[in-house]
Amino acid sequence: MPDIRLLAEVAPTHRIFRRFWPYLRPHRAILGSALLASLLSTAAVVGIAPVIGWGVDAVTAGDATRLGWAVAVMVALVVARLVLLHRSAVLLSEAGERVIRYLRDLVVERLAGAPLRFVEAHRTGDLLRRSTGEIADLTLFLRDQLPNLISLGLTVVLTTGLLLVYSWLLALLLIALFLPLAVGVVLWFNRSAAGIFGHRAAADAMMTATFTETLNAHEALVAPGRPQEWVRRFRADNDELLAVSDDTVRVQNRLELFGLVEGLATAALLMLSVWLVRDGHLGVGTVVVFVLATRNLFESLLTFAALAGQAQLARVGLARLVDLLEALPSSSSEPGEPPPPRGDLVAEGLRFGYTDDADVLHGVCVTFPAGERTGLVGATGSGKTTLVKLLAGLYEPDVGRVRYGGVDLRHLDPSDLRRRIVLVPQQVHIITGTLAENLALAPGSPDRSDMRRAVGLLGLDDWVDRWPEGLDADLGARGDRLSAGERQIVGLLRAALVDPAVLLLDEATADLDPETAERLEAAVERLRAGRTLIVIAHRASSIERLPRVVRVVDGRLA
């Protein structure tokens, strides 16, 4: 079965930043400038404590000139920090917006070109959550939290360096007292964080999926009365989300132990300082620098800990997004041959199953000569739609191949193939908007004169002009102003705009009113001239008109 990679429910976070780096590469210049500005602004903050210490020593020594210099340098540092902080925030948010825009484009482009099997194998809500929700969360993280995290991380590193320079003895004692406890707290948090945050994201996606399906299936749910079963299912998803959210909060609370560690370490440090000053090992200025810098260090670590939960959430979201991007091949990765203008369409030993355990097609062999008309008939569920999707190259066969003009469809350029072989499905998808906006979805960016020409070619001028707005008629939300037959008329117009060599038509099974059925059949008659036509025929009138009929019985040709 599937030649596709399925998405993991809990996406792996393993080496996530290394996997994400290629997506950041186009923006490395602006990211580098933002980081540099951040580094300089942090260095300015860290530099304030030694300047205060310098000033204290100057006061103790009664040196007015040195004190003047200390004040001037401090003012310069404060001003430099303000300017650099603003600059780094602006640059980081600009870089973040660019990365996000790039990711959005990439996800949409890859999803648009994703194999049908991939889209069908996942819940719409899950894909929606990964391609919108995760990106929105990432935007917030990049804009609001990442700048803080970077500056806090730099503060911790630079302050530790400063402490080592001022008194390596005191600094080492601080590190010896504080580090094991701090590392212990972080390890305890990390042990459960990746798993629990991953489950929370999965539960969130499940809720989105159920919610999306509630909206999509609204009619089916409401028609039989109160959709209790669905409400029950929705509540179960909601309860699951609540339970994992509680677990997440419990894990996040572990970081509050940092407060306790800070209290213990500060008390120990103060006692040691008093002892060292009394014995003449340290000056008062150094102790002032130490106390200020240590406070800075602990405050940074505490804020860092508070942000770590958000960072973990962003990491999991990033992993889910990267998992989606990695599962979808880039459209430029496999350029194929251009398809020949005309040719026979030949199925050779096609086997295909939607799942591993059951084949729907069991070795189908059939030839559709160029320019001929063929009907496919068979009982419901016999595999007709599956067969035409394989013939159109929308699915790849598990075994066997489909050849057009002698070339395996897998070797043809996918976008050229979509123009040469066109499938008009039973349920033509209509977007909310006008007829012209719907026709514009046909490949090749057709303009209004192309659209009018297609309408004329299919003899549908009166159908379009019965609306005063003509091509600009509003088709309603998802096309709800159109009947099933009229949706297929839009599908035929899109096909006419593409001018394919092979037209595959899966006739609508819904009862069509005689006028629409007649209009549709007339349009197919006009469109079929000079093309290969394969129709999944449900109406007796269609079957009668077709010179050749192939019967599908349980995934085989009779």
Ligand X SMILES: Nc1ncnc2c1ncn2[C@@H]1O[C@H](COP(=O)(O)OP(=O)(O)OP(=O)(O)O)[C@@H](O)[C@H]1O
385 lies in the binding site for ligand X (CB under 6 A): yes
Token pair listed for 375: 């009907």
Of 194 and 504, CB closest to ligand X: 504
HSE value, Cβ hemisphere, 13 Å, CA-based, for 358: 5
**Residues 344 and 368 sit within 8 Å (Cβ to Cβ):** yes
Of 67-75, 279-287, 375-383, 489-497, which part binds ligand X (CB under 6 A)?
Answer: 375-383
Of 366-374, 384-392, 417-425, 524-532, which part binds ligand X (CB under 6 A)?
Answer: 384-392
Binding mask 115-154 for ligand X (x = CB under 6 A): -----x----------------------------------
Query: Whole-number minimum distance, CB 506 to ligand X, in Å?
Result: 7
Token pair listed for 195: 């798993």
List beta partners, residue 364.
Answer: 350
383 lies in the binding site for ligand X (CB under 6 A): yes
Query: Whole-number minimum distance, CB 387 to ligand X, in Å?
Result: 7
For residues 272 and 265, give the distance between their C-alpha atoms in angstroms, rounded to a whole number.
Answer: 11
How many beta carbons lie within 10 A of that of residue 185, not counting itself?
18
For residues 284 and 476, give the distance between their C-alpha atoms in angstroms, rounded to a whole number.
Answer: 78
Three-state DSSP state, 551: strand
Of 240 and 398, CB closest to ligand X: 398
For residues 537 and 520, give the distance between their C-alpha atoms in angstroms, rounded to a whole number.
Answer: 13
For residues 148 and 145, give the distance between their C-alpha atoms in angstroms, rounded to a whole number.
Answer: 5
Query: Whole-number minimum distance, CB 357 to ligand X, in Å?
Result: 12
Of 43-51, 329-337, 378-386, 431-439, which part binds ligand X (CB under 6 A)?
Answer: 378-386
Query: Whole-number minimum distance, CB 300 to ligand X, in Å?
Result: 53
69 lies in the binding site for ligand X (CB under 6 A): no
Query: Whole-number minimum distance, CB 378 to ligand X, in Å?
Result: 6
Of 147 and 383, CB closest to ligand X: 383
φ, ψ dihedrals at 341, nearest 5° = -65, -35
382 lies in the binding site for ligand X (CB under 6 A): yes
| Exposed / middle / buried, residue 261 (Cβ in 10 Å: 0-12, 13-18, 19+) | buried
For residues 406 and 263, give the distance between their C-alpha atoms in angstroms, rounded to a whole number.
Answer: 78
Residue of 320, 384, 487, 494 interacting with ligand X (CB under 6 A): 384
347 lies in the binding site for ligand X (CB under 6 A): no
Query: Whole-number minimum distance, CB 141 to ligand X, in Å?
Result: 36
Of 130-138, 248-256, 258-266, 381-389, which part binds ligand X (CB under 6 A)?
Answer: 381-389
Residue of 142, 221, 324, 360 interacting with ligand X (CB under 6 A): 360
354 lies in the binding site for ligand X (CB under 6 A): yes
Residue of 139, 159, 294, 386 interacting with ligand X (CB under 6 A): 386
Query: Whole-number minimum distance, CB 361 to ligand X, in Å?
Result: 8
Token pair listed for 150: 């970077």
Query: Whole-number minimum distance, CB 389 to ligand X, in Å?
Result: 8
H-run or E-run covering 511: none
Residue of 332, 380, 445, 449 interacting with ligand X (CB under 6 A): 380
CA distances to 153, 166, 287, 294, 305 from 299, in Å: 12, 20, 18, 8, 10
**Residues 424 and 354 sit within 8 Å (Cβ to Cβ):** no
397 lies in the binding site for ligand X (CB under 6 A): no
Query: Whole-number minimum distance, CB 504 to ligand X, in Å?
Result: 12
Token pair listed for 507: 């006739």
Residue-wise DSSP of 315-343: HHHHHHHHHHHHHSPPTTS---BPPPSS-
Binding residues vs ligand X (CB under 6 A): 120, 354, 360, 378, 380-386
